[in-house]
Amino acid sequence: GSLEPSVFAFAVVSSDIALLSSVKGLGKKGAERIVVELKDKIKGTTLENAFPGNKEINGKGKDSPARTKFSEACSALVVLGYCAGEANRAVTSVFDDAAEIETIIKLALKELI
């Protein structure tokens, strides 16, 4: 009940133990066990809207090009090894829907380093 299903799935796939253990009553060991047991089962699912706190980007809905660009930038950072929460915060802090995705990723990486 604390996380939307897509956010939960993304946290499991990206092994974001910090996000999972932020759920009331779930500690680090429990979060790690969830990741181990569910990661392979969830991998093929669609993870749209998986980044917490960003239902709208610059006043635009979830199906907008800006939302897609935001999600792609976050996904790129997760692939590079950052947890979903870190990626979300970094991209949120530098996001400009007029910028190229490569630029957004570079600026977000600078925020993380």
Q: What is the pTM of this model?
A: 0.52
Which single residue is written with the structure tokens 């910090």?
18
Residue 64: band (very low, low, confident or very high) from pLDDT cuts 50, 70, 90: low
The pLDDT tens digits of the residues spanning 16-51 come to: 888 888 888 889 999 899 888 887 776 654 454 455
- Computed on alpha carbons and rounded to an integer, the radius of gyration of the chain in Å comes to 14
Contact residues for 77 (Cβ-Cβ < 8 A; gap 6+): 86, 87, 90, 91, 105, 108, 109, 112
Angle, helices 84-94 vs 5-13, to 10°: value is 110
